Amino acid sequence: MIIQSIKCYNQTIPTLHEGAVSNLPELDYLIISYSKVKKIKQNPFHNLPQLTLLILSYNEIESIDNNAFANLNSLITLDLTGNKIEFLDPEIFASLSKLKTIYLGSNNLEVFEAEWFAADVELDTIQLNNNFIRSIHRNTFKPFKTLYTLDLSSNRIQFIHKNAFDNLENLDSLHLNDNRLRKLHPDVFKGLKNLASLWISGNNLTYMPDKILQDLKSPNLFQMTIHTNPWQCECYNRIMKWAGQRRVFVVTAIECYSDNNPVCLYPSENEDACLETREEDLNKIFYELYNGNHTCKS
């Protein structure tokens, strides 16, 4: 009997012990989800030479031994979404030489480390949404020059180093929405030569440096989300003018919100200028107006 797939849902499996799933040479994908897994011991997956997809999402994983993913030489996609992971050992994924996609969303991670992976890994998707990451440093994503999609949405990011994305020339989609960004360095997007969509909505941005718009030169760029930021109106107008010239579609509102929601506010002084200044009282008014007009269902 040839077994090519195993799907395991809604069970109670607190620990994946050594050899838990073993000696299935034709197994192509393995799913263990919603099964209350808390611990993954070393070498639970043994002699699975054809395994390309491993989904361990929506469990309660807190602890992963360093050799948990050893010998999965054909694995392409690893999904650890929706667990309770706070910490990962260095080189935890280093044996996954063919890995392309890693899903780490909805965990408790405060950092992302390149040292988790093999130096020559060619990832195309990193999903880190809904974690607790506060900053993106200079070399965080430097090894991942093949990266196509990077999702950092719904974290607590306040700082992004100006060179954080320098090596990501193939990046197509960058999600920075729903964080705590108050400003962006003028050079932060300069290396993104093939970017198609940029998501910066749901932050606390009031000002957009002209150089950022100048550096967004990718011929593929077609969409940018900017809503739910307390933009100065002159800054907002500059973005919209640039978008019109570049034929970039700008998302300025959430569909379920009222047409009366603000998209920008005029400062008390220099209302015709786009300045790197903040008026906290004005920002407070913006969010009061925005939150007071929504029609989204909870």
> In this predicted model, what pLDDT tens digit does every residue of 48-68 receive, in sequence order?
999 999 999 999 999 999 999
Q: How much is the average pLDDT of 74-79? A: 99
Q: How many CA atoms lie within 13 A of 158 on its CB side?
A: 3
State the average pLDDT for the chain: 93
d(CA 249, CA 267): 26
Q: What is the pLDDT of residues 150-203, one digit of tens each?
A: 999 999 999 999 999 999 999 999 999 999 999 999 999 999 999 999 999 999
Residue 175: its pLDDT value, please? 99
pLDDT on residue 298:
38
> How does pLDDT run across 34-45, given as a tens digit for each residue?
999 999 999 999
Separation CA 282–CA 278 (nearest Å): 8
Count helices and strands in the chain by DSSP H and E runs: 3, 18
Using DSSP, state whether 116 is helix, strand or coil: helix
- pLDDT score for 272: 85
User: How far, in Å, CA of 59 to CA of 26, rounded?
Assistant: 25
pLDDT tens, residue by residue, 217-236: 999 999 999 999 999 999 99
pLDDT (mean) for 271-282: 79
- Answer for the pair 96, 67: CB distance below 8 angstroms, yes or no: no
Q: Which residue blocks in the chain are alpha helix, DSSP H?
A: 210-215, 233-246, 280-292
